[in-house]
Amino acid sequence: MRKTAVDWFNKAQTLLDEDGKYTKRKKAIEYLDKAIKLNPDYAEAYVSRVDYFALLLQRESALEDLNKAICLKPDYAEAYYLRGRLYDSISFHKHAIEDLNKAIGLKPDHAEAHYYRGRTKYWLDQHQSAIDDFTEAIRLKPDYADAYINRGLEYRSLSQHEKSIEDYNEAIRLMPDDNYSYYNRGIAYFDLGQYQQAIEDYTAAIRQKPGDYSLYIHRGEAYDHLGHYQLAINDYTEAIRLAPKYAHIYNNRGIVYGKLDQHQKAIKDFNKAFKLNPDNNAILFNNRGFAYVKLGKLQRAIEDYNEAIRLQPDYDVAYINRGDAYYELCQLDCAIEDYNEAIRLKPDDADAYYDKACCFALQEKAKQACKWLRLAIEKGFNDWKHIKKDKDFDNIRKESCFINLLKEAKNEKTLCYAI
C-alpha cells in the first residue's frame, strides 16, 4: 500500500528523541520531503523540517519553511515560535519579539515561547520584562533549568545578586553537572565580594570543563582579591596555556606580578599584551608605567602615562599616576597640574586632593596645602596616622592653619582615628 503524506510525517516523528531532536536527521528530513511532495500544503511538515540543526546552520531554508507554514496556517503558534527563535539567533530582535508575541497570543501556556521572548528582551535591555517572561516559563514548566539560569543573568543585570544566586542554586539542583550554572553563580558571589565562595564555584566548573580558559581567568581574579597572588598567577598561567593569544590574561598576570614586587616580569607580560593587541591600550600603558615607577624608571613611566592619556584623555587614574611620577622627580608644578586634571575628571577622589596638598606643603605654601588637605578630608581621606607621620607636611606643621586643621580633626566625632 502506497504511503500517504501523513504516513511519511508520522514516520519522521518516530525519530525524535526526548529533547525534540532527530536521532537520524538525514532520514527524518527525507521522510518529511516525501510528505511535502505528496502534500505541498502540509504546514506541520514544513515546521517539522525546521529542527535544531536547521535553526543553527540552515537558516535561510528554515526561514522559507516557516514562512510557508505561516502562510498555509496563519494561526500556527509553533511556526511563529520557531521563526521568533530564528530571528533572535540572527539578532533581528524586534522581529523575534513580534513572532514570539504572536505565538504566546495563540498559545499562552507555551513555556518555551516565554523563555525565548525573555532571552530576546535581554538583548533589548528590557531586563525586568525579561524576568517576567522567565518567571512565567518557570511557572508553566517548574523544572526549566535554562529559565532559572537566564533569570539569574537578568537579576545580575539589575545588581540583584542574592536573587541571582537563588536561581543558580535551583539550576544546579536540576542540572548538577552544568558547569555554566556554577560559573554564573561564581560571578554572582564575586560581585558580592564573597570571593572564597566564587572560587569554590569556579573550581567546580573547572572540574567539569577543564579546557575553558575563562574559568581560570575568573578564579585568578578571585584569588587576587583575597591576596593569594601566587595562586592567581598559577591560574593566569594556565589560562595563557589554553589561550596564548588573549592579551587580557597577560595584563592580569602582569598586575599580580607587580603586587609581588616582580616588576620585570610584570613589564614582560605587559609587553606581550601590547604585541598581541597593539591598538588603543591606554590601560596597558598605565599599568606598564606603574611598573616602571616601581623600578625607579620615572621618565619611562611618564612616557607611558603620556601615551595612556593621549589614547584616553579622560583617564583620571593615568593623571594621578603621572602626577605621582612628577612628584618623585620633584617636578611639583607638573604634579599639581595632573592632580588638578584628575580632580576635574573625578571630583570625589580624596587621594588626588591629598596629593595636591602634599605638593603645596613641599613648596611651603601653607594656605594652599591646608585648603587642599581640608578638601581631602571632606572627600573622605581619613588615614590620620599617615597625616601625622607624612614628612611632606613637615614644612608647615607649625603653621596656624595646619595646627587648627588637626585640632578640628581631633574633635570630629566621625573620625575613625583621633590624632
Tens digit of pLDDT for each residue in 354-383?
A: 999 999 999 999 999 999 999 999 999 988
pLDDT of residue 384: 85
Max CA separation in the chain (angstroms): 112
Beta carbons within 8 Å of 350's beta carbon, 6+ residues apart: 376, 377, 379, 380, 381
In a domain, 163, yes or no: no
pLDDT of residue 294: 97
- 253 is in which domain, residue-wise? 211-278
In a domain, 403, yes or no: no
pLDDT of residue 228: 98
Write phi, then psi, for 383 (nearest 5 degrees): -85, 80
In a domain, 220, yes or no: yes
pLDDT of residue 61: 86
**Which residue carries 605654601 as its cell?**
365
pLDDT of residue 163: 97
CATH number (domain holding residue 270): 1.25.40.10
Residue 158: CB atoms within 10 Å? 12
In a domain, 384, yes or no: no
Beta carbons within 8 Å of 327's beta carbon, 6+ residues apart: 335, 355, 358, 359
DSSP H helical ranges for 2-58 = 5-13, 25-38, 43-48, 52-57
Residues of the chain scoring pLDDT < 50: 413-419
DSSP H helical ranges for 22-144 = 25-38, 43-48, 52-57, 59-72, 77-89, 93-106, 111-123, 127-140
Encode pLDDT of 109-147 as tens digits.
Answer: 999 999 999 999 999 999 999 999 999 999 999 999 999
Q: Give the span between the Cα atoms of 290 and 11, in whole angstroms.
A: 69
Beta carbons within 8 Å of 314's beta carbon, 6+ residues apart: 345
Q: Are the beta carbons of 387 and 397 closer than 8 angstroms?
A: no
In a domain, 267, yes or no: yes
pLDDT of residue 75: 96
Helix, coil or strand: residue 16? strand
In a domain, 255, yes or no: yes
- What pTM does this model have? 0.85
In a domain, 229, yes or no: yes
pLDDT of residue 233: 98
Residue 404: HSE in the Cβ half-sphere, 13 Å Cα cutoff = 8
Q: How many domains does the chain have?
A: 1
pLDDT of residue 23: 85
In a domain, 274, yes or no: yes
pLDDT of residue 300: 98
